[in-house]
Amino acid sequence: MRGEDRESGALFSYVSCEARVPGDHPLRAIRAIVDEALEVLSPEFERLYSKIGRPSIPPEKLLRALLVQAFYSVRSERQLMEQLDYNLLFRWFVGLSMDAPVWDATVFSKNRDRLIEGAIAAKFLAAVLSQTRVKTLLSDEHFSVDGTLIDAWASMKSFRPKDCPDDEGSDDTSPPTGRNAERDFRGEKRSNETHASTTDPDAKLYRKGNGQSSRLCFMGHLLMENRNALIVDAELTRAGGMAERQAALDMLDRRPSGAGARRRRITLAGDKAFDVRSFIEDLRERAVTPHIAIDGNVRVNARPRRTAIDKRTTRHPGYAVSQRVRKRIEEGFGWIKTTGNLAKTRHRGLERVGWAFTLTATACNLVRIPKLLAQT
């Protein structure tokens, strides 16, 4: 059951909490947007939570706490609760009165499944973007996509042959010596085909480029609009060569279409990894102009690679603009990884990591939106 109105008795102390947050504090504008979005999500929460039973911790508060965690790079959910206990600013943002006890950190784990089930992260992102003021910031015809690697919460030592996870691979000579034993991978062939991480089976071994080391990771993808470089969609997949293109198409296909209006032609910018004939065809099929960077790598036969993008596309000034703007998507990845603490996830499993990725992307937007609104 959703414990909604348990703070009513503590109005005074909430006010004194409120009074200590400066009127021009950046979090105030952010909270206004967050609260409006949470209001929209309210029926969803109603559906997710039981009517009876012990009152739940309001999911609105859980969500606001998780946003604060991203804003202030709080390392873990336990640390978050410790901060929330003593930090008035955090208390105010989350909506806890001064003397209200903080909840146990494990409630995040408990509620995670429920919030994932309701796809709350994606709906929250959508709810923020659909606000009338926010909409004016968004371009509805020019977009960019890109993907990045998110390190999994799994070590290489957990990467074991699928058929016998307890076996130390082909390394028969040295028996396991206690936990966290040394493992020598030299000469041992490892691939996603035959091996999987025992810690997080969804994590895949992937190498970004030649000469770089393979990591156990996921792949995070963003769809960005080009006017203010705000994130309009996020998706997390298993790492793989095709994942980036597939995720791009998925995000395009689920783009909200304007009520009644027929779908207009849009442009999509992307780096040279997207310069693949079949992908370009997929875009054209969807009435999407491919503003994709040209992959002109010189191959072994000393000939430049054949690109799927020609002058018909590149001659337009819009192509150059897209190429310039698309790089701003890195700002989003940068924030999500450094401030949002997602360079290496602490969650395990595709669903959990994906949920965190989308929520952190939303947090990234929330930091920027008030500043952008103030400029106009």
Residues in contact with DNA by the rule CB under 7 A:
1, 49-57, 75-79, 101, 103-107, 109-112, 153-155, 157-158, 177-180, 197-200, 346-349, 352
CA distances to 211, 294, 297, 306 from 303, rounded to whole Å, are: 22, 14, 8, 9
Taking the least distance from each CB to DNA, the nearer of 71 and 143 is 71
Taking the least distance from each CB to DNA, the nearer of 152 and 268 is 152
Evaluate whether 275 touches 310 at the Cβ level (below 8 Å).
Answer: no
Minimum distance of DNA from residue 351's CB (angstroms): 10
Taking the least distance from each CB to DNA, the nearer of 183 and 326 is 183
Minimum distance of DNA from residue 43's CB (angstroms): 15
Taking the least distance from each CB to DNA, the nearer of 67 and 309 is 67
Q: Which residue has the tokens 């002058």?
A: 311
CA 166 to chain centre: 33
Taking the least distance from each CB to DNA, the nearer of 156 and 249 is 156
Q: Is residue 146 within a helix (H) or strand (E), and if so which, with residue range?
A: strand 142-151
Using alpha carbons only, how large is the chain's radius of gyration in Å? 23
Minimum distance of DNA from residue 71's CB (angstroms): 17
Take residue 59 and report the two structure tokens written for it: 């999911």
CA distances to 14, 26, 89 from 18, rounded to whole Å, are: 6, 14, 8
Minimum distance of DNA from residue 291's CB (angstroms): 38
Minimum distance of DNA from residue 310's CB (angstroms): 45
Minimum distance of DNA from residue 15's CB (angstroms): 24
Taking the least distance from each CB to DNA, the nearer of 139 and 339 is 339
The DSSP secondary-structure symbol of 273 reads G
- How far does the chain reach from its first CA to its final CA, in angstroms? 42
Minimum distance of DNA from residue 76's CB (angstroms): 3
Taking the least distance from each CB to DNA, the nearer of 54 and 265 is 54
Take residue 325 and report the two structure tokens written for it: 């703007």
d(CA 129, CA 279): 27
Taking the least distance from each CB to DNA, the nearer of 79 and 136 is 79
Which residues are registered as beta bridge partners of 151? Answer: 217, 344
Minimum distance of DNA from residue 332's CB (angstroms): 23
Evaluate whether 125 touches 94 at the Cβ level (below 8 Å).
Answer: no
Number of neighbours of residue 189 by Cβ within 10 angstroms: 10
Alpha helices in the chain (DSSP H): 11-19, 26-48, 59-71, 77-86, 88-94, 106-117, 120-129, 132-135, 243-253, 277-285, 311-314, 317-325, 329-337, 350-375
